[in-house]
Structure 1
Amino acid sequence: MSHLNRRNLIVSAGAAALLPGAARAQKRYGPGVTDTEIKVGQTIAYSGPASAYGALGRAEAAYFKYVNDRGGINGRKINFISVDDGFSPPKAVEQTRRLVEQEEVALMFGMLGTPLNTATRPYLNQKKVPQLFIAAGSEGFAQPDKFPWTMGWQPTLRVEANFYARHLLANHPNAKIGVLYQDDDFGKELLAGLKEGLGAKAGMVVAAESFQATDPTVDSQLISIKGAGCDALMLFTYAKQAAQAIRKNADLGWKPDTYLHLGSASVGATLKPAGLDKSVGIKTGGFMKDATDPQWANDAELKPFFEWFKKYMPDANITDSLNLAGWAYAQTLEQVLKQCGDDLTRENIMRQAANLKDWRNPALLPGSLINTSPTDYRVIEYLKLQRFNGTVWEFA
């Protein structure tokens, strides 16, 4: 177990009078913080059924290395401790407890997956440890009244599914919708959000087939959905099952109007394994730029990303959107820690996360600004529909 040396800085009333502003300059540290270091913890799937998303953790580690090479944040280096949870909720809980109790991290950051974050959320809120910018979109991660120490990052699953429902009602109002969804809180929340968005026309969903994250294939579910006569398909899945589904649909000669969960809309992790030709026409809710899209090749905001990627991730695949996502997630945490100044208690870290004002993350689509408050933990809310053209995502 690592122990932090803490110093109590005591300034007498007389000394304070001689040093105006001393109280303001006083450093306040919580666990995991010293004059030279901020410990940040993470568990993520480097193995198991969601291992493709390990790229997110690797990109975040590379970004923090870049930050440290430039002197850190307010003079403190980020000690990023990212460990494998195998996409297993029990393992995630075990690893989270170790990071908090033994490593004494200041906060937990960027954990992947609705079920894992749901499993660790009670413990982290009880311990009053910030659970920040998690890679999961449940509405439950934007509920400061119930879970004040937990904050998501991407658009919520409910917002995303409502968005698809509105698009279908406007453009395919007589569709027969089939849904392939992961049988956990993640998939069920997307399904519920879709039906909520369809409102009185929720009966358009004529087939809904679930799968377990550990299932070897989703072939039988897709055969059932096709057999129900569906001409629209929602892929409420992670990358592995999305790629399987796109390939299977091609094998079946079935080309429904397909919408893909935005967290799986990676050309490298999903569409390339599925087959780029088989993925043409698939839609998703876009909120980030695509680093492979020619329209952003000379984008001034992304120039630092390309420079960072070339130097710090030379062996990574630029077509994997998780690299840009990791860069963007980590930048958001950097901004929060910058705002903290020398008050790096867990309470102030959470306070600053809930006090982002018109902050522009360069990876987001133009027009998207981040605003949070103590009563609004929704970090990103701006979405635009995108369609894959065989090479890149384009606005639909």
Structure 2
Amino acid sequence: GVNGRKIRMITEDHGYNPQKSVTAAKKLVEKDQVFCLYNVIGTSPVEAIRPILEESGIPLIAPATNSSTMSDMSRQGAKYIFHTDAGYDLQTKILINYILSKNPDAKIGFAYQDDDYGENALQGAAEAEEMNGITVQKESFQRGATDFVGQTSNFMKGGCTDVIIGGIVREPVTIMKTAQAMNYKPNFYGLGPTTDKRVGLLAGDAGENFITAYWAFHPESNNPGPKLYQELCDKNNVPDKMRGLYHYYGFATALVLVEGIKRAGKNLNRERLINALENLKNWDSGVFPPITFSRNDHAGVESVMLLQLQGGKQVEISDWLD
């Protein structure tokens, strides 16, 4: 426990659906009377519960989305949201700048999800376009899509040498396999959620050299946080197939929640938790780059490192980039 208290986690499945997210949040707040919300998954599901956070005053720690809208302090309920991840806009901009540093003549394509996730990533693409005087070819897809022949064909027709994929797991796997079947061989890149090791397992050789932007030290790296993660997985007999990005994400973000509760002290209440988190200064979790929150800044992390699939394994190929 923390300061003599045990943490009890109550979970609700919103199915990545904003309407169900509202229902689940109301149940947790009104019926279960939870102390805080933690790790709510998905940009749109989190955006949908902002009015509940504003009305209840219940903090949301580490929403499970890389969208920088989570730390936009002008939005409803912003006081109660503490974000841990570099935004999709920053990730997209960093990837575009990285591509151009390797090949100034690159023709870049971007496959994005037609929702809040994609909207935030498009902001980064627009900033990079203006900064570099280029035009990125953009192809949208609906959440849950399984056929990417149209988008991949359009990238090939457009002469894209480099393609960024703003998806999760299925999308990069399908796009890269579709391109392989077409004998189309651009360099592929992905935003944070595509970093899961299942991408390498499912894509096979079609995914070789796939580069992703990642907001933390890799779970299999030798840094203190990942080492602790590996030790806890071994101690608790966690199957190998579960040890990927999303399992690790729960561990990494829980460190932030626990640190906030520790610093709030024994006389715990929500205002004390908010105050404790807002006073984190260059805190080294061993997992993220140093985290700083303040009353006017709940962004936490604003840098990423690049990982590349090499022989089916993800390898760090950069330092922290911002």
Q: With structure 2 as the length reference, what TM-score do the two structures score?
A: 0.91
Shift in Å at residue 183 of structure 1? 0.2
Shift in Å at residue 126 of structure 1? 2.4
Partner of 1:356: 280
Q: How big is the alpha-carbon RMSD for the aligned residues of Structure 1 and Structure 2?
A: 1.9
Shift in Å at residue 345 of structure 1? 1.9
**Letter in structure 1 aligned against 2:169:** A
Q: Deviations over 1:121-175 (max 9, x none)?
A: 1221222111111111222211234321122211012221221122123222222
Q: Deviations over 1:348-389 (max 9, x none)?
A: 22222222122111223xxx2111111111111232233221
Shift in Å at residue 323 of structure 1? 2.3
**Letter in structure 1 aligned against 2:100:** L
Shift in Å at residue 342 of structure 1? 2.3
8 Å CA contact 2:224, 2:287 repeated in 1: no
The equivalent position to 2:309 in structure 1, one of 388, 391, 395, is 388
Consecutive unaligned residues of structure 2, counting only runs of 5 or more, are none
1:369 aligns with 2:295: no
In the aligned structure 2, how far is the partner of 1:114 from the partner of 1:301? 26
8 Å CA contact 2:88, 2:124 repeated in 1: yes
Max Rg structure: 1
8 Å CA contact 1:176, 1:230 repeated in 2: yes
8 Å CA contact 1:110, 1:132 repeated in 2: yes
8 Å CA contact 2:220, 2:227 repeated in 1: no
In the aligned structure 1, how far is the partner of 2:309 from the partner of 2:243? 13
- 2:32 is paired with a residue whose SS is coil
In the aligned structure 2, how far is the partner of 1:98 from the partner of 1:300? 37
Shift in Å at residue 212 of structure 1? 1.0
1:274 aligns with 2:203: yes
1:216 aligns with 2:138: no
Partner of 1:344: 268
Change in CA separation of 1:179 and 1:92 when aligned onto 2, cut-off 3 Å = same
8 Å CA contact 1:266, 1:319 repeated in 2: no
8 Å CA contact 2:146, 2:170 repeated in 1: no
In the aligned structure 2, how far is the partner of 1:74 from the partner of 1:319? 29
In the aligned structure 2, how far is the partner of 1:233 from the partner of 1:278? 14
In the aligned structure 1, how far is the partner of 2:173 from the partner of 2:133? 27
In the aligned structure 1, how far is the partner of 2:147 from the partner of 2:10? 33
- 2:212 is paired with a residue whose SS is strand
**Letter in structure 2 aligned against 1:280:** E
* Counterparts of residues 88-167 of structure 1 (less than 5 Å): 88-146=17-75, 147-167=78-98
- 2:297 is paired with a residue whose SS is coil
Q: Deviations over 1:255-304 (max 9, x none)?
A: 21221011221113x221222x22121112233233345xx2xx555432
8 Å CA contact 2:307, 2:314 repeated in 1: no
The equivalent position to 1:179 in structure 2, one of 96, 105, 110, is 110
Q: Percent identity?
A: 25
Consecutive unaligned residues of structure 1, counting only runs of 5 or more, are 1-71
Shift in Å at residue 317 of structure 1? 2.2
In the aligned structure 1, how far is the partner of 2:226 from the partner of 2:92? 28
- 2:8 is paired with a residue whose SS is strand
**Letter in structure 2 aligned against 1:284:** T
Runs of 4+ in 1 over 6 A off after TM superposition: none
Shift in Å at residue 344 of structure 1? 2.2
8 Å CA contact 1:93, 1:119 repeated in 2: yes
* Counterparts of residues 240-259 of structure 1 (less than 5 Å): 240-259=170-189
- 2:138 is paired with a residue whose SS is strand
Q: With structure 1 as the length reference, what TM-score do the two structures score?
A: 0.75
8 Å CA contact 2:305, 2:316 repeated in 1: no
* Counterparts of residues 185-200 of structure 1 (less than 5 Å): 185-200=116-131
In the aligned structure 1, how far is the partner of 2:132 from the partner of 2:225? 41
- 2:52 is paired with a residue whose SS is helix
8 Å CA contact 1:179, 1:236 repeated in 2: yes
**Letter in structure 2 aligned against 1:323:** H
Partner of 1:327: 251
- 1:80 is paired with a residue whose SS is coil
**Letter in structure 2 aligned against 1:166:** N
- 1:377 is paired with a residue whose SS is strand
8 Å CA contact 2:200, 2:309 repeated in 1: no
Q: Deviations over 1:21-76 (max 9, x none)?
A: xxxxxxxxxxxxxxxxxxxxxxxxxxxxxxxxxxxxxxxxxxxxxxxxxxx11111
Q: Deviations over 1:306-336 (max 9, x none)?
A: 2210122523526512222211111110100
In the aligned structure 1, how far is the partner of 2:187 from the partner of 2:25? 40
